[in-house]
Amino acid sequence: MKTKQFVVVVVILCVFMFGANGFTKSKSVLQDKEIVTIVAVFDGYDADNGYAFLVAGEDGDLEIVYFTDITEEALKSVNLKSNDTIGKRFEITYEITEYEEEDEDGYTEIFEQYTIIKVKAL
- 28 contacts: CB under 8 Å, gap ≥ 6: 99, 100
- Show the DSSP H helices in 25-103 as ranges: 72-77
Domain 26-121 part of CATH 2.40.50: yes
Strand order in the sheet with 89-102: 62-67, 50-56, 26-46, 89-102, 108-121, 69-70
Predicted confidence (pLDDT) per residue in 43-97, tens digit: 999 888 899 999 988 888 889 999 989 999 998 999 888 889 999 999 999 999 8
What is the Cβ-side half-sphere exposure of residue 41, based on CA atoms within 13 angstroms?
A: 11
Are 120 and 74 within 8 A, CB to CB?
Answer: no
Q: Read off the pTM.
A: 0.65
